[in-house]
Amino acid sequence: MPSHPSIARRPVAWGGDHTADAIADLLAASPAHHVSGELIRKRLKLTRSAVWKAVGRLKREGYGIAASPHLGYRLDREPDTPLPRLIRNGLRARTIGGAIHAFRTVSSTNDTALALAEQGCPDGTLVIAEAQTGGRGRLGRRWHSPAGSGLWFSVVLRPKLAASGAQALTFLGAVATARAVRDLHGVPMTLKWPNDLFLEGRKMGGVLTELSAESDLIRHAVIGIGFNVNLPAAAWPPELKAIATSLQAAAGGPVPRVPLLRRILEEMETRYAFLQRSGPAALVDEARALTPMIGKIVRIQHLGQVREGTVVGMDPDGALLLRSAAGTVERLLAGDVSILR
Amino acid sequence: MPSHPSIARRPVAWGGDHTADAIADLLAASPAHHVSGELIRKRLKLTRSAVWKAVGRLKREGYGIAASPHLGYRLDREPDTPLPRLIRNGLRARTIGGAIHAFRTVSSTNDTALALAEQGCPDGTLVIAEAQTGGRGRLGRRWHSPAGSGLWFSVVLRPKLAASGAQALTFLGAVATARAVRDLHGVPMTLKWPNDLFLEGRKMGGVLTELSAESDLIRHAVIGIGFNVNLPAAAWPPELKAIATSLQAAAGGPVPRVPLLRRILEEMETRYAFLQRSGPAALVDEARALTPMIGKIVRIQHLGQVREGTVVGMDPDGALLLRSAAGTVERLLAGDVSILR
């Protein structure tokens, strides 16, 4: 893993250097074998100094590269760091992740993504950071996003959807994450409506959808996904240990982040296309199946009001349907849910 | 009316000078009578030069002020210009217009209002300009907003509403404008759903609601209202003459803009409070009563699709209910409507 120097005032993009990309590709084609400096220089039309600088850059990004004056360079290890070239390598998605902006540290990937969206970035643009200094959850709640231990990223979408489809976009992020986590690591992730990601009864992360709309029509939306991957239990502050978890804890060992990210982007891609074509019903069905609170008696706090009742289902927009003791069914768009029994 | 110099690169706020405000108040207390320079200087603790400068500023803002070396200053005429001190004078609204940002020229009052909203301006903040250089209608359509002849303004709201309440906010602007126009000038304004303001079958202006939301919850919304007040028929480009109009044409003569603006803000204030307390039903009822297309056979274009049918009503969110020839009723959130018969 690369080291994480003091927080930059202005986010610094990383990866994305074409020379380093080309050298990384060349070395990765002969893993654990030396590639001579002369071959690299000739093949890529580079000076000795350009090669040296780019290799230095790769090492700072976490690549294990051995250099020998006689034999050349040898790739011993690629980092498990969400660098654009590593994310793109084998990514089977065209729209989601079609453009990638990666940073060591940003305040919040959602903020960066919203700014890029205002500037007209393409549908599906991915913004990812190794660490967030101002990660946010719903209602501006702080979200701890330390370097190297999680996946903190945002996807800009420009769907032809009414703003009432926002919950479907949150589900898009949650369902894609759950599917990738289950398929790659056999771990059943659940959704705590409206936007929390849970493993074994403890919070692993969450999804935060933010959007800009004209009248009721979404102009652009940002789906922010953040979850703990390899944060060891010992690293948790005591007050979080009982309520928070990481994928590593459930999977029984460290989890490579880049393949997991790629899989999430791919799962988003297929569902995003379907959502645009056929509406949110299928996504809401998938989310419902991940939501163990259906049938439970809950207390929901929302906009200063408290309601209690039985969760009887979800409506086609993903709103929760709550039946009160009096028997009336109310439709709730968001809220903090406590399961009573 | 003040002159309108070349378009400023950066919007220049006007009004809002405390010295000029105080002198304007003092002169307005004795209209058509001279107030001595000495009295002004003593009462307001100002130097001769400060008084002179502030009077110059008032004159540039359109005030008719006569200055006599012996008698002092006399207010002959207040301009009908949306300056903060003139808007505030007698405004019976606390939230809407509680803060006022006025400009000679901005690109779009909605853009300025959205930027102020991001910076945390209070609920009800008013942004108004004498002219817009980049006024926008729905879907980014250009809107002609020449200096001095219209009311071009935006109100920032922070309602506790789901994003699906956006149409109710558009109605809030439209209904308040219709009510003010009817009460002050006896002219029946109608609403062409979803957001156009009509007089006698021709377009007078429109309302553009833009919003930022977290999940489905509105974080802030901007209601932009723009309409032609005193643009004389001779000033219309030929291609607009048949389809556009101004309030002056229907009212039979020039219309003072500032009292009309104040009344619109007041009408918004009462309905905004009610909307927050009791939901959008009453506003949707008012909007429905202003919508002559109900019962008509129409063609609606929206997101590249064309539908035809009979408008059978509005749902509680303000969506249009369209019954097709086959008898199915569809709910439409926005679109371009042509009335067929």
Q: What is the mean pLDDT of residues A256-266?
A: 97
pLDDT at site A11: 60
Helix A48-60 × helix A18-28 angle, to 10°: 80
Instruction: For residue A68, give every residue at least 6 positions away whose Cβ sits within 8 Å of its Cβ, in sequence order, or none.
Output: A34, A74
Closest residue to A166, CB basis, from B160, B163, B210: B163
- The alpha carbon torsion through A279, A280, A286, A288 (nearest 10 deg) reads -150
Prediction ipTM score: 0.74
Cβ of A162 within 8 Å of Cβ of B195? The answer is no
Give the C-alpha separation, B164 to B145, whole Å. Answer: 29
A211 contacts B163? CB cut-off 8 A: yes
Give CA–CA dist A37/A28, Å, rounded. 15
Q: Using one digit for the tens of pLDDT, what is the confidence trace for A75-128?
A: 999 999 999 999 999 999 999 999 999 999 999 999 999 999 999 999 999 999
Q: How far apart are CA A165 and CA A168, in angstroms?
A: 5
Q: Write out A279-302 in H/E/C secondary structure.
A: CCHHHHHHHHHCCCCCCCEEEEEE
- Residues of B with Cβ-Cβ distance to A167 under 8 angstroms: 215-216
Contact B332, B317 (CB under 8 A): no
Residues of chain B neighbouring A209 (CB-CB closer than 8 A): 214-215
SS3 assignment, position A84: helix
Q: How far is the C-alpha of B137 from the C-alpha of B110, rounded, in Å?
A: 10
Residue B323 contacts by C-beta under 8 Å, 6 or more apart in sequence?
B309, B310, B311, B312, B329, B330
Fold for the domain defined by B18-77:
Arc Repressor Mutant, subunit A (1.10.10)
Q: Are B93 and B103 in contact (CB under 8 A)?
A: no
Residue B139 contacts A, CB cutoff 8 Å: yes
The C-alpha atoms of residue B160 and residue A165 are separated, in whole angstroms, by 18
DSSP code of B8? P
Among A167, A212, A215, select the one facing B216 at the smallest CB separation: A167
Segments in chain B below pLDDT 70: 1-12
Residues A269, A275, A278, A280, CA torsion sign: positive
Strand B34-35 to strand A196-199: parallel, antiparallel, or no bridges (unpaired)? Answer: unpaired
Residue B209 with chain A: CB contacts under 8 Å? 214-215
Contact B129, B109 (CB under 8 A): yes
Do B172 and B223 form a contact (C-beta atoms < 8 A)? yes
Query: Which chain A residues are closer than 8 Å to B212 by Cβ?
Result: 210-213
Pairwise CB contact (< 8 Å): B215 & A166: yes
Residue A253 main-chain phi, psi, to 5 deg: 170, 170
User: Are residues B215 and A167, on separate chains, in Cβ contact within 8 Å?
Assistant: yes
User: By three-state DSSP, how is residue B321 classified?
Assistant: strand
Among the partner-chain residues B209, B211, B215, the one whose CB lies closest to the CB of A138 is B215
pLDDT at A5: 34
Q: In this complex, how many residue pairs, one in chain A and one in chain B, have their CB atoms less than 8 Å apart?
A: 79
> Are B137 and B179 spatial neighbours (Cβ–Cβ below 8 Å)?
no
CA count, 13 A, side-chain hemisphere, A4: 17
CATH fourth-level superfamily of A84-289: Bira Bifunctional Protein; Domain 2 (3.30.930.10)
Dmax (CA) of chain B:
83
Give A-chain residues touching B333 at CB under 8 angstroms. Answer: 162, 215-217
**Cβ-Cβ contacts under 8 Å, A163 against chain B:** 163-164, 166, 211, 213, 216
Q: Is the pLDDT of residue A3 over 70?
A: no
Q: Are B70 and B39 in contact (CB under 8 A)?
A: no
pLDDT class of A291 with cuts at 50, 70, 90 = very high
B167 Cβ under 8 Å from any chain A Cβ: yes
- Measured between beta carbons, the chain A residues lying within 8 angstroms of B160 are 303
Q: Which residues pair with B225 in a beta bridge?
A: B153, B207
CA distances in angstroms from B213 to A46, A139, A167, A217, listed in the order given? 49, 11, 11, 12
**pTM for this structure?**
0.83
CATH assignment, B297-339: 2.30.30.100
pLDDT digits (tens, 9 = 90+) for A147-197: 788 999 999 999 988 887 889 999 999 999 999 999 999 999 999 999 999
* Bridge partners, residue B329, by sequence: B323
Collapsed DSSP state (helix, strand, coil) of residue A217 = strand
For A215, which residue in chain B has the nearest alpha carbon? B209
All CATH 3.30.930.10 domain ranges of chain B, comma separated, are 84-289
Q: Helices B18-28 and B48-60: crossing angle, nearest 10°?
A: 80
* Sheet hosting strand A329-332, strand order edge to edge: A329-332, A320-323, A305-314, A297-302, A336-339
| pLDDT score for B137 | 78
| Residue A104: C-alpha distances to residues A128, A147, A153 (Å) | 9, 8, 12
Residue with tokens 């959704």: A191
Q: List % helix, strand, coil for chain A (3-state, nearest 5).
A: 35, 30, 35
Cα–Cα dist A200/A74, whole Å: 42
Contact A315, A288 (CB under 8 A): no
> Contact A214/B214, CB-based, under 8 Å?
no
Rounded to whole angstroms, how far apart are CA atoms B112 and B154?
9
What would the pLDDT profile of A24-50 be if each residue is shown by its tens digit? 999 999 888 999 999 999 999 999 999
Please indicate whether, in this complex, the C-beta atoms of B166 and A212 are within 8 angstroms of each other.
no
Residues paired with residue A34 on neighbouring β-strands, in sequence order: A74
pLDDT tens readout for residues A205-236 = 999 999 999 887 899 999 999 999 998 877 77
